[in-house]
Amino acid sequence: MPDAPFRYKKLGYVAINVADLERTVTFYRDVVGMEVSEYRKGEVAYMRCGDDYHSLAFFPAAQPGVKRMAFELESDEDLEAARRHLKSLGVSYTAVPAAEARDLRHRESIRFNIPGCGMPMELFSGAERQVKPFAPTRANLLRLGHIVIKVKEFDTTFAWLTDKFGFRVSDHIRDDKHENEIAFMRCYPNPYHHSLGIARSDANQLHHYALMVRDLDDIGRGNNRLPREGAPVVFGPGRHVASGSVFLYFLDPDGITLEYTHGMEEFSERTPRAARMLEPKLEVVDMWLGTPRAGFGRVGYAEGANH
């Protein structure tokens, strides 16, 4: 697979639409354990789980779900190369106005809709970091981990991301009829097993997003603590074959699925292992043989996607 003409650094942030901004800020601060970087009542809340200025951005909206996902590139030169590449592919993009980019603490940003699903994506460079280190509270959060989306035009979206836009497949789960299918992809050359997952579905929407935690004990404590604090656990604790991560999925106040995840396989930039084709069996989804409960991956209207 040829390299893309630009290099990713990581999944930078996810923007989320919520029904009640104040309720969401309280939950993600006091229950999830994130820190408020900036909160403008009725407008936006930026929250972090590491040393980036923000990892999640929350906006008030009529329908809860994903507003956009944003990937940081390694340099300004990579962002310019991405602009040229999008143009060569015939994909239109818009430059984020300078005032909004400053608000996001980015030097420059562009946005476009992913061909196939129409999901909004942002690319940016020159992100501002926090001077004060992140101080864990409710859980030992390390960073924003990944986002998984559900897409109708799976084949088109998958081919475009992997053949045209620099994502590498780490593992692929699929049955013989291609009815149950999910691809876990890393944004090259980021080493983590996946920053983005796409699942075949009859709708374009969010499935979940994940925060990495430092210790296995964060998973165990969360399993007991979160339900007592109003966050129903809907899957886990368990361990995925793909990535090897230990997981715990729970719901936020809007019913959006959020994950604490611990541990993840890392890939060499130049000599990675080959992607595996895995069967969609219970012991693959969860090596510990657990099953999802009601509400798992159900809420997540995608603003701007094809519906």
pLDDT digit string, tens, across residues 29-42: 999 999 999 999 99
CATH number of the domain residue 74 falls in: 3.10.180.10
* In a domain? residue 130: no
- Residue 149 and residue 113 share a domain: no
Q: In this structure, is residue 307 part of a structural domain? A: no
Residue 162: inside a domain: yes
Residue 305 lies in a domain: no
> Which segments within 214-302 are labelled E, that is strand?
233-239, 246-251, 257-262, 276-278, 301-302
Report whether pLDDT(1) > 60. no
Residue 25 to residue 181: CA distance in whole angstroms: 34
Q: Rounded distance, CA 296 to CA 207, Å?
A: 8
Tell me what the mean pLDDT of segment 153-166 comes to.
97
The domain of 19 spans: 8-125
Amino acid identity, residue 279?
E
- 203 and 239 together in one domain: yes
Query: Lowest-confidence range among 174-183, 189-198, 258-267?
Result: 174-183
Per-residue model confidence (pLDDT) at position 118 = 97
Residue 92 lies inside a defined structural domain of this protein = yes
The tally of domains found in the chain comes to: 2
Residue 20 — pLDDT band, cuts 50, 70, 90? very high
Share of the chain residues as helix, strand and coil, in percent rounded to the nearest 5? 20, 40, 40
Domain termination site, one of 125, 159, 174: 125
Report yes or no on 304 lying in a domain: no
| pLDDT exceeds 60 at position 19 | yes
Q: Residue 176: what pLDDT?
A: 86
Q: Is residue 31 part of a domain?
A: yes
Mean pLDDT of 69-79: 98
Task: Based on the fold, state whether residues 108 and 219 are members of the same structural domain.
Answer: no
Same domain flag for 161 and 120: no
If asked whether residues 175 and 71 sit together in one domain, one would say no
Average pLDDT estimate for 267-284: 96
In tens, the pLDDT along 117-150 reads 999 999 999 999 999 999 999 999 999 999 999 9
Check whether residue 202 and residue 73 sit in a common domain: no
How do residues 204-222 score in pLDDT, each as one tens digit? Answer: 999 999 999 999 999 999 9
Q: Kindly indicate the confidence band of residue 307, based on its pLDDT and cuts at 50, 70 and 90.
A: confident
**241 shares a domain with 191:** yes
- Rounded to whole angstroms, the Cα distance separating 158 from 164 reads 10
Each residue's pLDDT tens digit, 214-258: 999 999 999 999 999 999 999 999 999 999 999 999 999 999 999
Same domain, 75 and 205: no
- For 295, residues 6+ apart whose C-beta sits below 8 A from its C-beta are 232, 234, 251, 255, 257
pLDDT of residue 197: 98
Does 1 fall in a domain?
no
**pLDDT at position 239:** 98
pTM exceeds 0.95 for this model: yes
Residue 118 sits in the same domain as residue 150? no
* Residue ending a domain, choose from 125, 159, 185: 125
Query: Residues with Cβ < 8 Å from 165, sequence gap 6 or more?
Result: 4, 85
Lowest mean pLDDT among 32-46, 60-74, 171-185, 237-251: 171-185
